[in-house]
Structure 1
Amino acid sequence: MTLISRAPRVEASVLDDGLVPRLHQELEEFLAHAPDTAPEVGGALADLVLAGGKRVRPTFAWWGWRAAGGPVEGPAADATVRALVALELLQGCALVHDDVMDRSATRRGRPTVHTAFAARHHRGRWAGDSRHYGDSVAVLVGDLALAWADDALAGAGLDPAALARAREPWRAMRTEMIAGQHLDLLAGARREESLEKALRVARLKTAAYTVERPLHLGAALADARPELVDALRSYGRDVGVAFQLRDDLLGVFGDTEVTGKPVGDDLREGKRTALMALALGLARTAHRPHAARLLRDCLEGHGVSDRTVTEVGELLRDLGAVDAVEERIGSLVEQALRTVDLVEPAEPVRLALGALAAKATERRW
């Protein structure tokens, strides 16, 4: 049973668990029409996208559609649901490339694409460098995901006027995703410690393409009035940044069963997160040079063992950085919900956006 035929359940459950079989169907169609040289690359992408995930972006896009008066059922709703597959493919592109840049070994509890292909090269004793081969194939898998995302949106059967309206948020989402990723790389290269810059990365790398632009896309498909689009985007920026702040906390304190990645990976990778920027500022204010030095060593990736992860976690709590991030998450969510209330959406939409904000920022998703 596809997502389209189960559209009414979206209203009741908020999360649309019918997206997975629909995505299977779409990807199978893509694979069936792929050139003979593409099955391994396409198969790796299909495995990643179908392996799990929270389907956050399609869900927010659906509620952008509903907020603007888009129907639950009918041809327009069916085409909109098909278009949402593009968001999962775009996410696949981001994940594959992000894992290469971060040198991540696992994703969703499985080897990352570049790791899996490097291992295949090594087992086969093929010519050349295994790591280079794995990275190269991962680049192709990510590129294919981006190409298929465009194909999914263009081929969803949208009304020509709706497809034209979708172009603005779709173009912006792809560009902002790449800009945010570049800023993240730049922060590490320049050894930046600024909270303001860390939040800017969160705004572009996560908030824009996770919440803000999916909402914008869904609303645009339903021909939303400008003031509603502005309100949804404002809500999306706040909830999206809060989502990233929660991710920062999970990167240090999270459960591998929830995150799909080893606990402490952000510390081992020297991530320049808002959490670490806040902690450094608090260490300086409290005149604790040893604490500041330990935090900087983590940012530089100097000997971050399991013991170091535990020690830094305790330090982040002791400095008050964890409490400060939790407080900011709460403030952002409250501000987002106030913004939504100002445009007085229908009761089901208002309740759904409230529930989604809680799920995204408390990570019960």
Structure 2
Amino acid sequence: MSSAGGAACPGEQEYSLRAVDATSPGGGGTNSTGLAVDPPGPEFEIWRSGVRRTALDSVADFVDTRCLPQLRRTGVDIAADVLVEFLEGGKCLRSTFMYLGWLCGAESDPNTNAAALRAASGLDLLHAFALLQDDVMDDSPLRRGRPAAHMRFAQWHRDRGLSGSSERFGAAQAILLSDLCLVWAEQMMRESGMPAEALALAWPHYDDMRIELAVGQCADVANDAGALPDLETVLDVARRKSGNYTVRRPLEIGAAMAGCEHLLDALGGYGRAVGEAFQMRDDLLGVFGSPSLTGKPAGGDLAERKATSVVVAAHRMAGASLRRQFAELMNAQELDDADIAHWRTLIVATGAPAWIEELIAERVAAAVDHISDGRIDDWAQSALAGMAAACTDRLT
């Protein structure tokens, strides 16, 4: 159907996070050079799994030797368990992208590669910093299917009958733990075994990433679906808060560390495109993902009235009747499960989810174009194409 709002609409249909067509990142499409953006093959998955396992092991060793002895001096005996459990089971996307940036230009040397991967693993502690604060700001009860850190600290406070607000105590402890993770992330990189001169090339890009993350979070806190920002504004916030931080900057940090400044424009273009696609996939999951898939409450972005790409696109593509219903939901004092389900149905009726899927596929294909000019070797191109598909086709 065509929307009354004047935007092209792909058509009303049943929307499923598993309904990926032949042009989507997981469905065998190609970019303009003909390089496939198929689902990652078994060899790539073996490599990626090995990088993830090594990164998690490196973080666990650093946490055990450096972080836990310091946390045990806080008097909050649960803090060590919270940190260890918080770091378990991560996807290590940022550390993998940083390591890939390094591999795009570094000479092959097992010892130096091992140090580069240890340095890259520090980004998992930086990600812990971001997630701990994100859950406090969003007042999220769950993280990866378990009580969020601030909820666990609040329960610890209640169990001991301590005076004052348990909720304020929980939020304060989570923020303080996140601050420590921010410090530990850089410490882990400095102590990775990478030469100081190589790290010196990376620090400016690392600083850019941290600043963009904080600025993007400031904008995200003010993000309100009721304000109805335009799609480009929403994508700009997503680019700074999540896209650059997840893909572009880690790649640039790794390449800079390898002394490959000449690759930064190609990797930056790839990273911007994949980062936007990554965030748009996250926006779809924030509306349609189940708790078993996301580890967070179903429809959480709707409950929080977040102006995500899906919500903004749906409003733009909706006719007058649907827009009135959107306004009622956006301005409601409280939303129950039935309200969230109804809102999802309205969004599907506009065709916005299918349109966002098209945007994701376009950006993944454009990303591969950026790295296909011959400056990056075939193996690295293939790995980057695999990572583009893996982190934007998150259905399982």
TM-score by length of 2: 0.84
Pairwise CA distance, 1:121: 1.3
- Tell me if 1:124 matches 2:155: no
Q: Quick one: which amino acid aligns to residue 184 of structure 2?
A: W
Matches within 5 A, 1:180-219: 180-188=216-224, 191-219=227-255
Partner of 1:357: 388
Counterpart pick for 2:100 among 59, 63, 72: 63
Counterpart Cα distance in 2 of 1:292 and 1:175: 36
Q: 1:221 to 1:70 in 2, by over 3 A?
A: farther
Q: Quick one: which amino acid aligns to residue 232 of structure 1?
A: L
- Tell me if 1:287 matches 2:320: yes
Bigger shift: residues 291-300 or 353-362: 291-300
Partner of 1:14: 48
Q: 1:22 to 1:10 in 2, by over 3 A?
A: farther
Q: Quick one: which amino acid aligns to residue 267 of structure 1?
A: L
Q: Quick one: which amino acid aligns to residue 90 of structure 1?
A: L
More helix by share: 1
Pairwise CA distance, 1:12: 4.9
Runs of 5+ consecutive residues of structure 2 not aligned to the other structure: 1-42
Deviations 1:72-131 (Å, cap 9, x if unpaired)?
Answer: x42211211111121000000000000000000000111001111111212222100111
Q: Any conservation in 2 of the 1:269–1:301 contact (CA below 8 Å)?
A: no
Counterpart Cα distance in 2 of 1:339 and 1:277: 28
Bigger shift: residues 186-195 or 135-144: 186-195
Counterpart Cα distance in 2 of 1:176 and 1:42: 29
Q: Runs ≥4 in structure 1, deviation > 3 angstroms?
A: 9-12, 38-43, 296-302
- Tell me if 1:44 matches 2:82: yes
Matches within 5 A, 1:186-265: 186-188=222-224, 191-226=227-262, 228-265=263-300
SS in 2 for 1:363: coil
Runs of 5+ consecutive residues of structure 1 not aligned to the other structure: 1-8
Q: Quick one: which amino acid aligns to residue 48 of structure 2?
A: V
Higher relative contact order (CA 8 A, sep 6+): 2
Counterpart pick for 2:311 among 276, 297, 301: 276
SS in 2 for 1:83: helix
Q: Quick one: which amino acid aligns to residue 274 of structure 1?
A: S
Pairwise CA distance, 1:37: 2.2
Pairwise CA distance, 1:267: 0.8
Deviations 1:200-236 (Å, cap 9, x if unpaired)?
Answer: 111001111100011111111111132x111101111
SS in 2 for 1:342: coil
Partner of 2:142: 106
Deviations 1:220-257 (Å, cap 9, x if unpaired)?
Answer: 1111132x111101111110110010011111111322
> Aligned pairs, how many?
350
How large is the Cα RMSD of the aligned pairs?
2.0
Q: Quick one: which amino acid aligns to residue 58 of structure 2?
A: R
TM-score by length of 1: 0.90
Q: 1:311 to 1:19 in 2, by over 3 A?
A: same
Bigger shift: residues 251-260 or 301-310: 301-310
Counterpart Cα distance in 2 of 1:32 and 1:248: 35
Bigger shift: residues 124-133 or 251-260: 251-260
SS in 2 for 1:270: coil
- Tell me if 1:266 matches 2:301: yes
Counterpart Cα distance in 2 of 1:301 and 1:92: 33
Bigger shift: residues 98-107 or 265-274: 265-274
Q: Quick one: which amino acid aligns to residue 258 of structure 1?
A: L
Counterpart Cα distance in 1 of 2:331 and 2:181: 32
